[in-house]
Amino acid sequence: MGVTITFLGAAGTVTGSTYLVSDGTTKILVDCGIFQGDREWRERNWLEPHFNPSEISAVLITHAHVDHIGMLPRYHKLGLRCPAYCSPATAELAALLLTDSGRLQEEEASYRAARGRSRHTPPLPLYTEQDARESLRLLRPITINSKSRITDSINATWSLMGHILGACSITLEMGGKTIVFSGDIGRYGEPVLVDPVAVPMGDLLLIESTYGDRLHNGSSDVHDTLAEIIQTTSKRGGIVLIPSFAVGRTQTLLYYLRELKAAKRIPDIPVIIDSPMASDATEIYQRHTNEYDNTALALLNKGFKPFHVPKMYFIRDREESIKLNSISEPMILISASGMLSGGRILHHLKHRVTDRKNTVLFVGFQPPGSRGDWLKRGAQSIRILGEEIAVRAEIREISGLSAHGDREELLRWCRSCSGTPGKVAVVHGEPDSARVFATTLRDQLGWNTVVPSYLQTIEV
């Protein structure tokens, strides 16, 4: 019998990455992500797992985003006791992201309890912050770029992918077969992190396709637009409010702001980061210099810190966060969550969006129908924390800051890898982009592609 892979997530969608790999005797998971987005997908987080958690021998994690690791606390609660291997930075970031995920689950459960909307009485969180903390003991950091022994018959190698700190592809050797899991593929030439690293292809490649049918704007556009928005807003005495993911996006922004200030392209106004998680994540980014590219290393050698912006302040304390409301001079205020789904950003938005001097700047994806989406489409008013608030601030967007490679970058990584994969499963994309990217790989590289469906099993 060969090796089988069952697609338990990231098939037909971008979330819930989970692949069950079996050689007939040993079962492992590669990633164990949570489903996000529509209710129909989120309901799947509550299903009985399609495997017995106590029978899993190892979990291999590509990176710390919860759509790749967010089910670890739940599976741990259901009996998963095996080691979960990942890169050292992933283990550190997972501690932040999983506990935050537990906290959000608890908040959502109490919100549903207050509204009487739940499939459970009383409403339950999928897992708690404490559950998340307990599952962290499963994490085992590996050494990047060197073969790790997973069991007597299974080896795996992690190679950097530049998507966020710690993000890697995984080359799995099991049952005489070699399977490459791309994980999420980062950008080329982006600040600080190395470009996606080429790996030899084997019997099967699982490749992500989030932007398999699209191209991003170039990074020079990002510089110019960011500078223009900050100049215009501070000239009229306003504040630039940026909803941002705490991990990855905030650090990229800090890098760009440092460059713009050094080049005197923006005024030397305060840069406030109001998010305890962003402070912790930035500290972790500062420590893992082994993942930096040559430009970032050269900066370090010259005594510069890549994420250090003059007049930069991290706010941890809730009281300090509230005090920010009284500041009316120009500043750049970065806060989480990036999708306006909760957190301190909502208070800042409520306070700042009514003033036409200010700018709300979106730097990440806003799901259709969400608050951010309404704002971007020019809503005159918006409901925040139970109140209808008039929108007078300028609403802007920078779209080139994605952490995912676009179609050309995905192809560039494929071309950089040696050998031709026996088969390619195109995953982690909405149906259209997965289908378009599978066709592109077939046409341009002659690769043998399939687009697996949810719960499908293929054999190599």
Copy the structure tokens of residue 63.
């990176």
Copy the structure tokens of residue 312.
């930069």
Which of the ranges 49-57, 182-190, 314-322, 326-334 carries the binding residues for Zn ion, by CB under 5 A?
182-190
* Amino acid occupying residue 291: E
What minimum distance in Å lies between the beta carbon of 61 and Zn ion? 11
What minimum distance in Å lies between the beta carbon of 164 and Zn ion? 6
Measured between alpha carbons, how far is 356 from 99 in angstroms, rounded to an integer?
37
Q: Does 65 bind Zn ion (CB under 5 A)?
A: yes
Nearer to Zn ion by Cβ, of 92 and 184: the residue is: 184
What minimum distance in Å lies between the beta carbon of 183 and Zn ion? 8
Which of the ranges 6-14, 176-184, 289-297, 352-360 carries the binding residues for Zn ion, by CB under 5 A?
176-184
What minimum distance in Å lies between the beta carbon of 12 and Zn ion? 17
What minimum distance in Å lies between the beta carbon of 459 and Zn ion? 28
Q: Does 184 bind Zn ion (CB under 5 A)?
A: yes
Nearer to Zn ion by Cβ, of 97 and 144: the residue is: 97
For CA atoms 118, 121, 126, 130, the dihedral sign is: positive
What minimum distance in Å lies between the beta carbon of 86 and Zn ion? 13
Nearer to Zn ion by Cβ, of 17 and 178: the residue is: 17
Strand partners, 312: 271
Nearer to Zn ion by Cβ, of 62 and 359: the residue is: 62
Which positions ≥6 away from 107 have C-beta within 8 Å? 342
Nearer to Zn ion by Cβ, of 65 and 347: the residue is: 65
What minimum distance in Å lies between the beta carbon of 212 and Zn ion? 15
Nearer to Zn ion by Cβ, of 98 and 312: the residue is: 98
How many residues lie near Zn ion (CB under 5 A)? Answer: 2
Would you state the torsion angle of the CA atoms of residues 362, 366, 370, 374, taken in this order, to the nearest 10 degrees? 50
- Distances in Å between the Cα of 104 and the Cα atoms of 100, 244, 410 are 6, 17, 32
Q: Does 187 bind Zn ion (CB under 5 A)?
A: no
State the residue for tokens 């969006």. 353
Within a 13 Å sphere around the CA of 7, how many CA atoms are in the beta-carbon half? 24
Q: Which ranges of 52-128 does DSSP label H, i.e. alpha helix?
A: 66-69, 72-77, 88-115
Nearer to Zn ion by Cβ, of 138 and 403: the residue is: 403
Measured between alpha carbons, how far is 9 from 429 in angstroms, rounded to an integer?
11
For residue 44, give the DSSP letter.
G
205 and 413 Cβ atoms separated by less than 8 Å: no
Nearer to Zn ion by Cβ, of 405 and 421: the residue is: 405
Copy the structure tokens of residue 454.
């949810």
What minimum distance in Å lies between the beta carbon of 167 and Zn ion? 7
28 and 60 Cβ atoms separated by less than 8 Å: yes
Which of the ranges 180-188, 364-372, 437-445, 446-454 carries the binding residues for Zn ion, by CB under 5 A?
180-188
Q: Which stretches of the chain bind Zn ion, using CB under 5 A?
A: 65, 184
